[in-house]
């Protein structure tokens, strides 16, 4: 116990450089869909695809740079916790939508 680090974190410490890199990547991945949506240079369908791909890329950037989900042991535990939380949230949202849809069908006969 006396040899534990002050921060208590075992993840890869990216420091300020990592946070700045993540911040710049997040800004770029935010500006790309805004540009295409604002200017309308692409069709609606392509703009939606660009928006979804940018959102997925931004999710990966946030998970790696800000939530420190990497290949270390603590990072794997964080990833497992994240996946478990995502599954529970999906079950709650999908179940709520299913219940509301069934209620609507049964009440609006």
Q: What is the pLDDT of residues 20-58, one digit of tens each?
A: 999 999 999 999 999 999 999 999 999 999 999 999 999
User: Which region among 13-22, 42-51, 84-93 has the lowest average model confidence (pLDDT)?
Assistant: 13-22
61 and 21, same domain (yes or no): yes
DSSP code, position 70: S
> Do 95 and 60 share a structural domain?
no
Same domain, 54 and 25: yes
> Is residue 60 located within the same domain as residue 77?
no
pTM for the complete prediction?
Answer: 0.66
Do residues 60 and 46 both lie within one domain? yes
- Answer yes or no: is 50 within a domain: yes
CB 69 within 8 A of CB 82: yes
Report d(CA 78, CA 74) in Å as an integer: 6
Domains: count for the chain: 2
Residues 20, 51 within the same domain: yes
How crowded is the C-beta side of 60, counted as CA atoms within 13 Å?
Answer: 7
Give the domain range for residue 81: 70-109
């Amino acid at each position: 116990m006396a040899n534990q680090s002050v921060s208590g974190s075992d993840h890869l410490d990216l420091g300020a450089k990592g946070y700045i890199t993540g911040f710049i990547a997040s800004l770029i991945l935010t500006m790309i869909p805004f540009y295409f949506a604002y200017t309308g240079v692409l069709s609606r369908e392509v703009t939606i695809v660009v928006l979804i791909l940018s959102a997925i890329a931004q999710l990966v950037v946030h998970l790696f740079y800000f939530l420190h989900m990497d290949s270390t042991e603590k990072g794997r535990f964080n990833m497992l916790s994240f996946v478990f939380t995502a599954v529970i949230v999906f079950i709650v949202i999908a179940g709520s939508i299913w219940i509301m849809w069934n209620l609507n069908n049964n009440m609006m006969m």
